[in-house]
Amino acid sequence: MGIMPIDAVERLQEGCEILGKMAAKQSIAQWEIVASQAYGTSVDIERGRIALAAGGGDGGFGIRVVEDGRYGFAYVGRPEEGGDAISQALSIARKSPQIKGFHLPSASKGTSVDGLFDARVDQLTPDDLLNNADDLISMVAGICPNGVVSGGGVGATISASALLTSEGIESAGTQSSHSMGIQVTIDEDDLLTSGWEGKGGHQLITSYDDFVEETVEWASETRKFTKNVGPTSEKEVVMTTGAISGLFGTIIPQATLGDRQARGESFWTGKIDSMVMEEHLSLVDDRCLEYGANSSSRDGEGLPSQKNILISNGILKGALWATRDAAEQVSLGNIESAQSTASANRDGHQEPPYPGRSNFLLTSSKNTLTRDEMVESIADGYLIGSVMGAHTANPTSGDFSVTSSQILRIVDGEIIGALKQAGISGNLSNTLTSGVTLGKLPLLQNGWSGGSIYVPDMRLSQGIRVNPA
């Protein structure tokens, strides 16, 4: 027996059918039942030792009803207790504002997406994860005897889901996840430095060397302080995928949402078919992406998954919509026409669907560079390994002001030392319009880059202000 019980999917499907029959008995015009169940095992590492091994599961059923363009939502843990939840959802719908033209999607065939389930992950045992954690601790000790794995852990999760609607949509499936991450700390000579890296995906992780070595490298390199910090000014910077993905993930996805553009809450409002990024850059949202962290055969409302081209050669070509939000913005008169782009997400069974990204990929038509090549191209600037405070960035304007304690000084193409800390500010929307160079995109089946934001290392040549502490 694996992490997930053999009959987990069948039980979710049976539960959906029970709730669907209950909704039909109440003569509800349109209904949608979504079910989810996650089973997982994890091991935590603290202060160089395994601190906790845990396991468990969580799941339930969500119910959305639609009547005359009005909708309500409720959830329940057991399908046998769903009568009250359905009545609650219907009561909420009848008290909600009407959205003209809003109805649940019609039945259609789902998209086939590979690489989302690995049976080897399902067969992982608590002992296997303990061995993973031991290996991480041992590897760090072998590379850096004065380094300690001060935090981190290993986890394996199997998620099952099912969807059933009054319009004939019916689907179910499973996904696997294997992840690990460590923080390495070096505390000696009255100086404390650290590095953090993680790795994960749907497939079994079989190699740790890459991210362990990089974690130790950041903990070691940031101990080599330099007095040549330079003045506060705009500088060229190389931001690792870990540094840029947090900012990118906070700011850019919000700007691509159709409802935000329609309400004037995006810096790309009214800019369809206009240049919004440097000409060699393109951005897609691909829910069909093989091995993608947020890939699936259908979106959160049951529409077949698809690839949406948002920016092509720097030109804004589209936006992300879910069914309800598209109908709502048309009904309000904020936009002449809109329809779902199969971009509805769900945060489990306890929330209704909402418009959002799946797998964002930023690519370039120019040759990409390695991190070392990007560093060598900078006469006066910085290499930034991570940032703190990315969540405070303003997704409406694109402005950000963050700090970093993983920042290395570059002079004439060479790293000459580290800064204790620096403030980094700018406007990401403006910065991406000129002077951008991309690094190599991480392998999706082997690497992790901000979850569903796949952004490579990036050199930014304008609009980034660095304020050394």
Domain count, the chain: 2
CA angle 444, 122, 199 (to 5 degrees): 30
> Dihedral, CA atoms, 437, 441, 447, 450, nearest 10 degrees?
50
DSSP-derived pairing of the beta strands 453-454 and 281-286? unpaired
Q: Is 184 a domain residue?
A: yes
Are residues 402 and 462 located together in one domain of the fold? yes
Q: Pairing state of beta strands 236-239 and 380-384?
A: parallel
CB atoms within 10 A of CB 347: 12
Which helix (H) or strand (E) covers residue 86, if one does?
helix 82-94
Has residue 388 been placed in a domain? Answer: yes
Phi, psi angles (nearest 5°) of residue 309: -85, 115
Q: State the pairing for strand pair 414-419/407-411.
A: antiparallel
Query: Do 203 and 253 lie in a common domain?
Result: no
Same domain (yes/no): 153, 35: yes
Query: In sequence order, what are the residues at sequence separation of 6 or more whose Cβ sits closer than 8 angstroms to the Cβ of residue 443?
Result: none
* Strand order through the sheet with 464-468: 233-234, 464-468, 422-427, 399-404
Structural domain range at position 162:
8-221
Q: 44 by DSSP, 3-state: which? A: strand
Compute the mean pLDDT over every residue in the chain, rounded to the nearest whole number: 94
pLDDT tens-digit map of 181-213: 999 999 998 899 999 998 999 999 999 898 999
User: 459 forms bridges with which residues in the sheet?
Assistant: 238, 437
Residue 228 maps to a domain: no
Q: Are residues 101 and 249 in the same domain?
A: no
If asked whether residues 313 and 274 sit together in one domain, one would say yes
In sequence order, what are the residues at sequence separation of 6 or more whose Cβ sits closer than 8 angstroms to the Cβ of residue 138?
A: none
CATH of the domain at 203: 3.30.2290.10
Residue 448 pLDDT > 90 = no
pLDDT tens string 361-415: 999 999 899 999 999 999 999 999 999 999 999 999 999 999 999 999 999 999 9
Q: Give alpha helix (H) positions in 196-337.
A: 209-221, 241-255, 258-262, 323-331
135-157, pLDDT tens digit by residue? 999 999 999 999 999 999 999 99
Q: Is residue 227 part of a domain?
A: no
Q: Are residues 264 and 184 in the same domain?
A: no
Q: Is 90 exceeded by the pLDDT of residue 230?
A: no
Report the alpha-carbon distance of residue 222 to residue 219 in Å, rounded. 6
Bridge-partner residues for 62, per DSSP? 34, 75
pLDDT at residue 434 is higher than 60: yes
Q: What is the pLDDT of residue 2?
A: 84
Residues 35 and 106 in one domain: yes
Could you read off the pLDDT of 241-254 as tens digits, one per residue?
999 999 999 999 99
